[in-house]
Structure formats: structure tokens, C-alpha cells
């Protein structure tokens, strides 16, 4: 019996790590690539905290052999990466860019040679700008173009990909992109958030159909959602109602159509002041509701909420547009407690256990994977003659965070959760969206002035977990 089996993990449990194209690839003007919405967004004054962009990022476009070598040394079973849509189809309507396809073939060659399973995400927020110019995710046609793109990838990369993930965190694409405007394309309009959310759902369903039309039922298909783990402050009706409202807009808007086959009528009701949902067409829910092999769950922190009952306060909140999500005027999000990460996020691993158990009870036929989990800290480089390159980053807080969350996985599995894999976010320090390079999630550090990779204690911890299992 393996060490992993003795501490509650299945023998075939997948240990992985993850990145996203715009955050690591760089080479934004190479290989036939055209602009994504993030290239354009980063050129706007004041939207990126350190005025940076993904122009170079980790230069993984050129340095992927080194990074795959690091993954092999770590001992990971799988690597979750995303594909840049605008590398594959740089212009509206095509043609397919062979240089872009060839890059991902080289990456796949390197991974497969290292015996690392490729887990490919089709969309990790970097919409081609030519589609944004036509309305982006509020335009139904974008979902149709996404299906074309998915079919192209299935034909081009075939069954070399172990698992296909349609979307990463559509919550962020809809609510941060169209609600708060913190992310590209930088729009603040609640009606547009709901339209974008629906068209992302539709794109997911169409993409699953497209993948399976080419690859057949052998295609292993998933979606990754950053489901909110919300906790009601008390059992008071108003606090329970606040949690329900968060769940509707953060979670049920995806789970309902994707996995249950329809939107919850309460969701349509509570958002009726913002949209009549005219974008929801007959047959859409059937298209969205496609059989999946895996549900990916991204988890970083929890959210504690209480209800708002004062009519004047509710009216004020409704007018203030203070939340990325609409219909949150009855919700008071409480300040996070305890030691906070550099992102200001709390650490509550038990909520990860609870979330996985709840999902497994609700969808007993579905495998679950934690496709992102990690934490940002203010890392400092230390000299160490025994370390690769003579440098190391001691990150005890990240090690403690990861250790606690892997133990939370163990509890979920022991409680009956159908959990088949775990991916640390992230392999490398990278371009952290609106924060630029100020927030560092990597278990491998990056000196962005030299592109030197620097191992952290958390990387050695993860290597040991993969090889030896977790201390009970």
C-alpha cells in the first residue's frame, strides 16, 4: 500500500500545478498572436496597479522546456495550462494560425515526454480583442465563435490532451469584467454582467458539444468554477437569506444550467430589476447542460455574510453599485478575520472540506478536482549555497496554508467526497491581473529582471507531499 493511500488519498490521485496563458507566456507580438482584451486593458492608464502587462510575463513561450523540467523535478502528475485563443485564431473568422498550434504541440510534446498529463483550459479570460470590438460576451455570437475555436483545438491537438476545461472562473469574466470593471474589458453595468454570464454558460455547452463532435465520448471534459464558500453569520432569517442571495449569483448561475439543466427561477426573479433575460433563448439551457467528467473547483478563501434589513440601507446599497454582482443589496460581507494573505484574504480550510462534501452529495456521479488553491505572500530571496542557483525563498506562511488545505482535502475524501486531483496555484510567480507583479502566488519564484527561477520552501514541501504523502 502506498504512502498516499495510507493517509486517505487514492493511489491514482492527481497532484498538479497550474498557470494561465496571459499570466506566463509573454511573447504577445510573436508567433502570429494578436491582441486580447487584456493587452488592450493593460494599456489603459491606472487599471494595473504597477502599470505592467503580460508582454513578457514569465517568458514561458520561450522557456517552457525549463519550466516543464521543474515540473518533472517536482514530480507532478499533471499540468493545468490555458491556451491563448488569439494565438490560434488571430483574426475574426480565421484562418487557423499554424504557428500558434505548433507552440502548443511543442508544449504537449515536452509534457508527455516528462510523463505529465496536460490539462488544457480553452478560456482563461483572454478574449480576442476582435470579438470584444463586436460586443464581447454580451454578444451571443461570441459563444458561437468559442465553439468554432473549441472544434479547432480538438482537431489540431486531438487526444494528446488528457482533460479539456472549457472555462476558468466565468464568475470573474462576468462580474469583474462587466460588473466592477476591475478586469478586462473594464465595464460596469449589471445588465451586461447577466448577459455575459449567460453567454459564457452557452459557450461552455457549445464547446463541450464541439469537443465531443471531434473526439467522441473518449474526450474527458470539465469546467472550472470559483464557487463562493459563503457562511451565514447566524441562523437568523436575514443572515440565511443573505447567504442564499450570494449563492444564487455566485454559484447557482453556473451550477444550475451547467449541471442541473436550468436556471433557478429565484435567480431570474431577484435580478429582474437589472435584466429581463431576453438573451435567454428557447433551447439554451439544454445546450448548456452537457455531460461532464470533472468539475473543477478553485478555492482560496471563504466569505462570511449577514443580512441587511433596513429599507433605506438596502436602497442606498442598490444605488451604489458596490458589489461586482447585482442583487446584493441585502448582503453585508463581513471583514475577513484571522491571519490574512497578501491579497487580504482569510484562511478557512474547513470551508473547502464543506464545499467538496456538499458538491459530492449534490452531484454523486461527478469527479471533483481542486484546480486552483494557493496564497500570495511578500516573498524575500535568501542566499543558500545548497540551493539551485545559490538562492532560495523561505515562505513558511505559504507552506502552512498549503499544508492546511491539503489536510482539508483529506477530510473531504474521508467524508465521501469524490475528489480525484489537486492543483497548486501557481507553478510560477506571474502577472497577477490587475495587481501586476506585486502579488506572488508561485511555489517557484521568478526574478522578472532576469527570468531566473528560484525554488521556494513550498516547492520542496510539495515535492515531498507528492513523493511521500502527508503527515497525519
> What average pLDDT does the structure give for the chain?
96
Instruction: Please indicate whether residue 313 is annotated as part of the active site.
Output: no
Options 25, 252, 348, 372, the catalytic residue: 372
Give the model confidence (pLDDT) of 397-444 as tens digits.
Answer: 999 999 999 999 999 999 999 999 999 999 999 999 999 999 999 999
Q: Confidence band (pLDDT; 50, 70, 90) for 171? A: very high
Percent of the chain at pLDDT above 90?
94
Residues comprising the binding site for substrate? 23, 124, 168, 300, 425, 432-433
Asked if 13 and 420 touch (Cβ cutoff 8 Å), the reply is yes
Sign of CA dihedral 446, 452, 455, 459: positive
Boundaries of every domain in the chain:
14-468
Instruction: Please indicate whether residue 169 is annotated as part of the active site.
Output: yes
Q: 259 Cβ partners below 8 Å, 6+ apart?
A: 289, 292, 295, 363, 366
pLDDT of 338 strictly over 90: yes
- By C-alpha distance, which of 316, 344, 348, 346 is closest to 332? 316
Q: Regarding beta strands 452-455 and 444-447, do their DSSP bridges make them parallel or antiparallel, or are they unpaired?
A: antiparallel
pLDDT of 283 strictly over 60: yes
Cα distance between residue 369 and residue 425, in whole Å: 13
DSSP 469: -
Give the model confidence (pLDDT) of 340-389 as tens digits.
Answer: 999 999 999 999 999 999 999 999 999 999 999 999 999 999 998 888 88
Q: What is the pLDDT of residue 471?
A: 64
pTM more than 0.95: yes
Residues comprising the binding site? 23, 124, 168, 300, 425, 432-433
What the block records as the C-alpha cell of 95 is 484562418
Query: Helix (H, G, I), strand (E, B), or coil: what is residue 296?
Result: strand
Give the model confidence (pLDDT) of 172-181 as tens digits.
Answer: 999 999 999 9
pLDDT of 228 strictly over 50: yes
Q: Confidence band (pLDDT; 50, 70, 90) for 297? A: very high
Q: Confidence band (pLDDT; 50, 70, 90) for 1? A: very low
pLDDT of 122 strictly over 80: yes
Residue 49 CB: number of other CB atoms within 10 A?
14
Q: What is the pLDDT of residue 386?
A: 83
Q: What is the pLDDT of residue 2?
A: 37
DSSP 338: S
Element (H, E) at 255: helix 253-255
Asked if 254 and 225 touch (Cβ cutoff 8 Å), the reply is yes
Regarding the domain with residue range 14-468, which homologous superfamily does it belong to in the CATH classification?
Glycosidases (3.20.20.80)
Options 25, 115, 169, 217, the catalytic residue: 169
Amino acid at each position: 500500500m502506498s504512502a498516499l493511500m495510507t493517509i486517505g488519498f487514492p493511489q491514482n490521485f492527481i497532484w498538479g500545478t497550474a498557470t494561465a496563458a496571459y499570466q506566463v507566456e509573454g511573447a504577445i507580438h510573436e508567433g502570429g498572436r494578436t491582441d486580447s482584451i487584456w493587452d488592450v486593458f493593460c494599456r489603459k492608464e491606472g487599471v494595473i496597479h504597477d502599470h505592467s502587462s503580460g508582454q513578457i510575463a514569465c517568458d514561458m513561450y520561450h522557456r517552457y522546456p525549463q519550466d516543464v523540467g521543474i515540473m518533472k523535478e517536482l514530480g507532478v502528475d499533471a499540468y493545468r495550462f490555458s491556451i491563448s485563443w488569439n494565438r490560434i485564431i488571430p483574426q475574426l473568422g480565421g484562418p487557423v494560425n499554424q504557428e500558434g498550434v505548433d507552440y502548443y504541440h511543442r508544449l504537449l510534446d515536452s509534457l508527455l515526454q516528462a510523463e505529465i498529463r496536460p490539462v488544457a483550459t480553452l478560456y482563461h479570460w483572454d478574449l480576442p480583442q476582435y470579438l470584444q470590438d463586436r460586443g464581447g460576451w454580451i454578444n451571443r455570437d461570441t459563444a458561437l465563435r468559442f465553439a468554432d475555436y473549441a472544434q479547432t483545438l480538438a482537431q489540431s491537438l486531438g487526444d494528446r490532451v488528457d482533460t479539456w476545461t472549457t472555462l476558468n472562473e466565468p464568475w470573474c469574466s462576468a462580474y469583474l469584467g462587466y460588473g466592477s470593471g476591475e478586469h478586462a474589458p473594464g465595464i460596469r453595468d449589471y445588465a451586461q454582467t447577466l448577459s455575459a454570464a449567460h453567454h459564457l454558460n452557452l459557450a461552455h455547452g457549445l464547446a463541450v458539444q464541439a469537443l465531443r463532435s471531434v473526439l467522441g465520448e473518449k474526450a474527458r471534459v470539465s469546467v472550472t468554477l470559483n464557487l463562493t464558500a459563503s457562511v451565514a453569520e447566524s441562523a437568523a432569517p436575514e443572515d440565511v437569506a443573505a447567504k442564499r442571495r450570494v449563492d444564487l449569483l455566485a454559484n447557482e448561475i453556473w451550477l444550475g444550467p451547467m449541471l442541473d439543466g436550468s436556471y433557478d427561477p429565484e435567480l431570474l426573479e431577484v435580478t429582474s430589476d437589472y435584466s429581463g433575460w431576453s438573451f435567454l433563448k428557447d433551447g439554451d439551457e439544454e445546450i448548456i447542460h452537457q455531460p461532464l467528467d470533472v468539475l473543477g473547483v478553485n478555492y482560496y478563501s471563504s466569505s462570511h455574510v449577514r443580512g441587511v434589513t433596513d429599507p433605506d440601507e438596502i436602497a442606498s446599497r442598490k444605488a451604489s453599485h458596490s458589489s461586482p454582482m447585482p442583487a446584493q443589496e441585502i448582503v453585508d460581507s463581513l471583514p475577513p478575520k484571522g491571519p490574512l494573505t497578501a491579497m487580504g484574504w482569510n484562511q478557512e480550510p474547513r470551508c473547502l472540506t464543506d464545499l467538496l462534501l456538499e458538491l459530492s452529495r449534490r452531484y454523486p456521479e461527478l469527479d471533483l478536482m481542486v484546480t486552483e488553491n494557493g496564497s500570495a505572500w511578500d516573498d524575500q530571496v535568501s542566499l543558500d549555497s545548497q540551493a539551485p542557483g545559490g538562492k532560495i525563498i523561505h515562505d513558511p506562511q505559504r507552506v502552512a496554508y498549503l499544508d492546511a488545505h491539503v489536510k482539508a482535502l483529506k477530510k473531504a475524501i474521508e467524508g465521501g467526497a469524490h475528489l480525484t486531483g489537486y492543483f497548486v496555484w501557481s507553478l510560477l510567480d506571474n502577472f497577477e491581473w490587475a495587481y501586476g507583479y506585486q502579488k506572488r502566488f508561485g511555489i517557484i519564484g521568478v526574478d522578472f529582471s532576469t527570468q531566473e527561477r528560484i525554488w521556494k520552501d513550498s516547492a520542496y514541501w510539495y515535492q515531498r507531499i507528492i513523493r511521500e504523502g502527508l503527515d497525519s
